[in-house]
């Protein structure tokens, strides 16, 4: 699949992904058309020319975006979105992107999200965290105030599962994000997740992990969550008060964020 869907424009790229059967649903197609990949790469990221590697925002290949990090190939994003589409599009859903990198997957998710949803991204590389917020603004999205690890949320202490003393799932939604939803980008350790903004219905982890990180599962999931980790996809259920994997299967994709494992 890699390299085969490169386009000259965002529209051509998405059309090629659809023709190849990678983009399958109307929701994913619409999101990838609405959020132009070109907004998530810097001008000098497209300056390379090669006969053996595709460079540029609409190349179906990972691209360096600074700080030793890549933005994943478009077909990788499409596969992740298709795997999580049902959860993302459900009204009131809470979706977490760990290792949110350039911010592009957050943009796609926010575009697909149902009414009253919360989309949260956590990025550990601080300069990239700031860059991703700027990228989202450039793409026409309006993330809420950027957050650093340990900062208060809506004026409340950042403690597990509470916003202003209420369950985060039951707390009133604000409209800081685009599309009438909350879109939040945070600098911090993604392995810990963002429990005070959850629990989450879907979690995407843009990094390789041999098994689901314990803290991420323990503090961040809802009763039934789809957890997509590069190379491993798991569905969790709650049994007798404990989160247990219902199924854990390797993804049949080996090109996730080649070299760094980051989005």
Give the CATH number of the domain where residue 196 resides.
3.40.50.150
- For 234, the enclosing helix (H) or strand (E) is strand 232-239
Number of domains present in the structure of the chain: 1
User: For residues 19 and 12, is the Cβ–Cβ distance under 8 A?
Assistant: no
Is residue 222 in some structural domain?
A: yes
Residues near 239 by Cβ (< 8 Å), separated by ≥ 6? Answer: none
Residue ranges making up the domain that contains 153:
68-250
* Domain annotation covers residue 259: no
In a domain, 234, yes or no: yes
106 occurs within a structural domain: yes
Q: Is residue 59 part of a domain?
A: no
Task: Output the CA torsion sign for 181, 21, 34, 123.
Answer: positive
- Residue at 101 is within a domain: yes
Residue 14 inside a domain? The answer is no
pTM across the whole model: 0.76
The C-alpha R_g of the chain, in whole angstroms, comes to: 17
Answer yes or no: is 38 within a domain: no
212 backbone φψ class: left, alpha, beta (φ>0; ψ -120 to 50)? beta
Residue 77 in tokens: 């994003």
The answer to whether the CB of 216 falls within 8 A of the CB of 206 is no
Residues 176-201: tens digit of each pLDDT: 333 446 899 999 888 888 888 888 88
Both structure tokens of 156: 């409340």
pLDDT by residue for the chain (263 residues), tens only, comes to 446 899 999 999 999 999 999 999 999 999 999 999 999 987 555 556 566 677 889 999 888 898 888 898 899 899 889 989 998 999 999 999 988 999 999 999 999 999 999 999 999 999 999 999 999 999 999 887 666 655 544 432 222 222 222 333 333 334 333 344 689 999 988 888 888 888 888 888 876 666 667 777 776 665 556 667 665 556 555 555 566 655 555 543 322 222 233 33
Active site residues: 72
Largest alpha-carbon pair distance within the chain?
57
């Amino acid at each position: 699949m890699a390299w085969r869907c490169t386009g000259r424009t965002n529209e051509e790229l998405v059309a090629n992904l659809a023709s190849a059967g990678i983009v399958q649903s109307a929701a994913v197609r619409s999101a990838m058309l609405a959020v132009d990949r070109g907004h998530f790469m810097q001008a000098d990221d497209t300056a390379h020319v090669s006969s053996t590697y595709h460079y540029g925002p609409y190349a179906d290949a990972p691209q360096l975006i600074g700080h030793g990090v890549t933005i994943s190939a478009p077909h990788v994003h499409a596969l992740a979105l298709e795997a999580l589409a049902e959860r993302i599009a459900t009204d009131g859903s809470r979706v977490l992107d760990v290792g949110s990198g350039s911010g592009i997957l957050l943009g796609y998710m926010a575009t697909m999200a149902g009414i009253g949803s919360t989309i949260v991204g956590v990025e550990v590389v601080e300069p990239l965290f700031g860059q991703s917020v700027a990228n989202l603004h450039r793409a026409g999205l309006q993330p809420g105030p950027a957050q650093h690890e340990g900062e208060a949320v809506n004026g409340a202490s950042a403690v597990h599962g509470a916003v202003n003393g209420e369950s985060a799932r039951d707390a009133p939604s604000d409209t800081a994000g685009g599309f009438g939803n909350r879109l939040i980008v945070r600098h911090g350790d993604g392995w810990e997740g963002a429990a005070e903004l959850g629990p989450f219905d879907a979690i995407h982890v843009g990094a390789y992990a041999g098994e689901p990180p314990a803290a991420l599962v323990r503090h961040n999931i809802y009763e039934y969550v789809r957890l997509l980790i590069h190379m491993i996809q798991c569905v969790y259920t709650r049994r007798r008060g404990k989160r247990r994997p219902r199924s854990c299967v390797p993804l049949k994709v080996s090109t996730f964020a080649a070299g760094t494992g980051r989005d």
